[in-house]
Amino acid sequence: MAGKDEKNKRENGIQRFIRETIGELRRVHWPTWPEARRLTIIVICVLVIMAVFLGLVDEGATRFIRLVIGV
C-alpha cells in the first residue's frame, strides 16, 4: 500500500504542476505582433552593437599583448 500512496502523490504533484503552469501562462501579458517585432529589432541592434564592441576590445587586447610580448 505504501508504494501505491507514493505513486499517487507523484501523479498528483505532476498534475498540480501542469495545472499551476497553465494558470500562470494565462496570466502572462503576451505582446502583440507589433510589440514583438519592435522588441526583436531592439534585441538584434543591441546584439550587433555588443558584437562590434567586443570585437574591438578583443582586437585591441590582441595588439597590446603582441606589443608587450614582442611578436
Give the start-to-end residue ranges of the domains of the chain.
1-30, 32-71
pLDDT on residue 8: 61
| Tens place of pLDDT per residue across the chain (71 aa) | 555 666 666 668 888 999 999 999 999 988 999 999 999 999 999 999 999 999 999 999 999 999 999 87
Please, where are the H alpha helices in 1-71?
Answer: 2-27, 33-69
CA angle (40 as vertex; 49, 50 as ends), nearest 5: 15
Contact 50, 42 (CB under 8 A): no
